[in-house]
Amino acid sequence: MVSITVTKMKHCIIFCIGLGILLPSCRYHKSPAKHQKELLGKMIFQDENLSNPPGQSCATCHDTGKGFADKDSRIVSEGASQGLFSARNSMSICYTKYVPELYYDAEEETYVGGLFWDGRTPNLQSQAGEPFLNPVEMGNATKADVVKKSKSGKLLSHAEGNLWGTREH
Protein backbone atom coordinates (compact mmCIF):
# COMPACT_ATOMS: atom_id res chain seq x y z
CA MET A 1 0.00 0.00 0.00
CA VAL A 2 2.86 2.35 0.83
CA SER A 3 4.55 1.72 -2.53
CA ILE A 4 1.38 2.78 -4.41
CA THR A 5 1.27 6.02 -2.45
CA VAL A 6 4.97 6.66 -3.18
CA THR A 7 4.38 5.94 -6.89
CA LYS A 8 1.39 8.25 -6.99
CA MET A 9 3.45 10.88 -5.20
CA LYS A 10 6.27 10.56 -7.77
CA HIS A 11 3.78 10.89 -10.65
CA CYS A 12 2.21 13.92 -9.02
CA ILE A 13 5.63 15.58 -8.56
CA ILE A 14 6.62 14.82 -12.17
CA PHE A 15 3.27 16.20 -13.39
CA CYS A 16 3.67 19.39 -11.34
CA ILE A 17 7.24 19.92 -12.59
CA GLY A 18 6.09 19.39 -16.19
CA LEU A 19 3.19 21.79 -15.69
CA GLY A 20 5.56 24.36 -14.19
CA ILE A 21 7.77 24.09 -17.26
CA LEU A 22 4.95 24.18 -19.83
CA LEU A 23 2.64 26.87 -18.44
CA PRO A 24 5.00 29.83 -18.91
CA SER A 25 5.40 28.90 -22.57
CA CYS A 26 1.60 29.00 -23.03
CA ARG A 27 1.34 32.65 -22.06
CA TYR A 28 0.36 35.02 -24.81
CA HIS A 29 2.94 37.76 -25.12
CA LYS A 30 1.54 40.69 -27.04
CA SER A 31 4.07 42.98 -28.65
CA PRO A 32 3.55 46.72 -28.23
CA ALA A 33 3.03 47.08 -32.01
CA LYS A 34 0.36 44.37 -32.03
CA HIS A 35 -1.39 46.07 -29.12
CA GLN A 36 -1.37 49.39 -31.01
CA LYS A 37 -2.80 47.72 -34.14
CA GLU A 38 -5.60 46.24 -32.04
CA LEU A 39 -6.34 49.67 -30.60
CA LEU A 40 -6.40 51.14 -34.11
CA GLY A 41 -8.78 48.40 -35.23
CA LYS A 42 -11.04 49.15 -32.28
CA MET A 43 -10.97 52.86 -33.14
CA ILE A 44 -11.96 52.12 -36.75
CA PHE A 45 -14.71 49.75 -35.57
CA GLN A 46 -16.18 52.47 -33.34
CA ASP A 47 -15.57 55.57 -35.50
CA GLU A 48 -18.93 57.12 -36.42
CA ASN A 49 -17.25 59.67 -38.71
CA LEU A 50 -16.46 57.03 -41.34
CA SER A 51 -20.07 56.87 -42.57
CA ASN A 52 -22.05 59.15 -44.84
CA PRO A 53 -23.80 60.87 -43.15
CA PRO A 54 -21.65 60.64 -40.02
CA GLY A 55 -23.16 58.80 -37.07
CA GLN A 56 -22.83 55.13 -38.08
CA SER A 57 -19.94 52.86 -37.15
CA CYS A 58 -19.34 49.14 -37.41
CA ALA A 59 -20.18 48.96 -33.69
CA THR A 60 -23.56 50.58 -34.37
CA CYS A 61 -24.79 47.42 -36.08
CA HIS A 62 -22.45 44.91 -34.43
CA ASP A 63 -23.09 45.71 -30.77
CA THR A 64 -20.48 44.24 -28.42
CA GLY A 65 -23.15 43.73 -25.75
CA LYS A 66 -25.27 41.65 -28.15
CA GLY A 67 -22.58 39.23 -29.35
CA PHE A 68 -21.51 41.70 -32.06
CA ALA A 69 -24.96 41.43 -33.68
CA ASP A 70 -27.77 43.93 -34.35
CA LYS A 71 -28.48 45.79 -31.12
CA ASP A 72 -32.23 45.73 -31.70
CA SER A 73 -32.39 42.11 -32.95
CA ARG A 74 -34.32 43.28 -36.00
CA ILE A 75 -35.02 41.28 -39.14
CA VAL A 76 -33.26 43.99 -41.16
CA SER A 77 -30.74 46.55 -39.94
CA GLU A 78 -30.91 50.29 -40.46
CA GLY A 79 -28.01 51.94 -42.23
CA ALA A 80 -26.31 55.32 -41.90
CA SER A 81 -29.26 57.17 -43.47
CA GLN A 82 -32.25 57.13 -41.15
CA GLY A 83 -35.09 55.06 -42.57
CA LEU A 84 -32.90 53.13 -45.03
CA PHE A 85 -32.76 49.44 -44.19
CA SER A 86 -30.62 46.66 -45.58
CA ALA A 87 -32.14 43.53 -47.08
CA ARG A 88 -30.78 41.56 -44.11
CA ASN A 89 -29.84 42.06 -40.48
CA SER A 90 -26.38 42.41 -39.02
CA MET A 91 -25.25 38.90 -38.21
CA SER A 92 -22.94 38.25 -35.29
CA ILE A 93 -19.29 38.69 -36.14
CA CYS A 94 -17.95 36.90 -33.03
CA TYR A 95 -16.36 33.99 -34.86
CA THR A 96 -15.75 35.58 -38.24
CA LYS A 97 -12.03 34.84 -38.23
CA TYR A 98 -12.85 31.11 -38.10
CA VAL A 99 -15.13 31.11 -41.15
CA PRO A 100 -13.37 29.32 -44.03
CA GLU A 101 -12.96 30.97 -47.39
CA LEU A 102 -15.95 30.32 -49.64
CA TYR A 103 -15.69 27.07 -51.61
CA TYR A 104 -17.94 24.42 -53.13
CA ASP A 105 -17.90 21.05 -51.36
CA ALA A 106 -18.62 18.54 -54.15
CA GLU A 107 -19.07 15.67 -51.71
CA GLU A 108 -21.74 17.54 -49.72
CA GLU A 109 -23.00 19.32 -52.86
CA THR A 110 -23.14 22.67 -51.13
CA TYR A 111 -21.17 25.86 -50.64
CA VAL A 112 -19.20 26.23 -47.42
CA GLY A 113 -17.80 29.38 -45.81
CA GLY A 114 -17.93 32.89 -47.07
CA LEU A 115 -19.25 35.86 -45.16
CA PHE A 116 -22.52 37.71 -44.99
CA TRP A 117 -25.77 35.75 -45.00
CA ASP A 118 -25.56 35.21 -48.75
CA GLY A 119 -21.83 34.38 -48.86
CA ARG A 120 -21.14 37.30 -51.21
CA THR A 121 -17.67 37.80 -49.76
CA PRO A 122 -15.24 34.89 -49.92
CA ASN A 123 -13.06 35.82 -46.91
CA LEU A 124 -12.54 38.22 -44.02
CA GLN A 125 -9.96 40.35 -45.82
CA SER A 126 -12.29 41.19 -48.71
CA GLN A 127 -15.25 41.67 -46.36
CA ALA A 128 -13.68 44.33 -44.16
CA GLY A 129 -14.10 47.23 -46.59
CA GLU A 130 -17.52 46.43 -48.02
CA PRO A 131 -19.77 48.07 -45.39
CA PHE A 132 -17.98 51.41 -45.85
CA LEU A 133 -18.99 51.48 -49.54
CA ASN A 134 -22.43 49.93 -49.25
CA PRO A 135 -25.02 52.68 -49.94
CA VAL A 136 -27.36 51.32 -47.27
CA GLU A 137 -24.81 50.42 -44.58
CA MET A 138 -22.27 53.25 -44.27
CA GLY A 139 -23.02 55.11 -47.49
CA ASN A 140 -19.61 56.24 -48.77
CA ALA A 141 -19.38 56.68 -52.54
CA THR A 142 -15.71 55.72 -52.98
CA LYS A 143 -12.72 54.25 -51.17
CA ALA A 144 -11.08 57.67 -51.49
CA ASP A 145 -13.88 59.16 -49.38
CA VAL A 146 -13.18 56.67 -46.59
CA VAL A 147 -9.43 57.31 -46.76
CA LYS A 148 -9.99 61.08 -46.65
CA LYS A 149 -12.20 60.73 -43.56
CA SER A 150 -9.70 58.46 -41.83
CA LYS A 151 -6.89 60.95 -42.51
CA SER A 152 -8.88 63.85 -41.07
CA GLY A 153 -9.75 62.16 -37.78
CA LYS A 154 -7.95 60.63 -34.82
CA LEU A 155 -7.17 57.45 -36.73
CA LEU A 156 -4.21 58.77 -38.71
CA SER A 157 -2.66 60.57 -35.75
CA HIS A 158 -2.94 57.39 -33.64
CA ALA A 159 -1.44 55.25 -36.38
CA GLU A 160 1.38 57.68 -37.12
CA GLY A 161 2.26 58.28 -33.49
CA ASN A 162 1.95 54.72 -32.21
CA LEU A 163 2.52 52.38 -35.14
CA TRP A 164 4.72 54.03 -37.71
CA GLY A 165 6.25 56.92 -35.78
CA THR A 166 5.67 60.52 -36.72
CA ARG A 167 6.29 61.63 -40.27
CA GLU A 168 8.64 64.45 -41.11
CA HIS A 169 6.98 66.82 -43.59
pLDDT in tens, the chain (169 residues): 555 566 666 656 665 555 455 555 455 566 777 777 888 888 888 999 999 999 999 898 888 888 888 888 888 888 888 888 887 778 788 888 888 888 899 999 998 888 876 667 888 888 888 889 988 889 999 999 998 888 877 776 666 666 555 555 4
| Nearest alpha carbon to residue 149 among 58, 69, 49 | 49
Tell me, what's the pLDDT at 19? 44
Sort residue 113 into left (φ over 0), alpha (ψ -120 to 50) or beta: left
Angle at 116 between CA 93 and CA 35, to 5 degrees: 35
Q: How many CB atoms lie within 10 A of CB 137?
A: 23
Tell me, what's the pLDDT at 158? 62
Tell me, what's the pLDDT at 164? 58
Find out whether 76 and 89 touch, Cβ atoms under 8 Å. Answer: yes
Tell me, what's the pLDDT at 37? 81
Count the helix, strand and coil residues of the chain and give each as a percent rounded to the nearest 5: 50, 5, 45
Find out whether 79 and 85 touch, Cβ atoms under 8 Å. Answer: yes
CA 39 to chain centre: 12
Tell me, what's the pLDDT at 116? 75
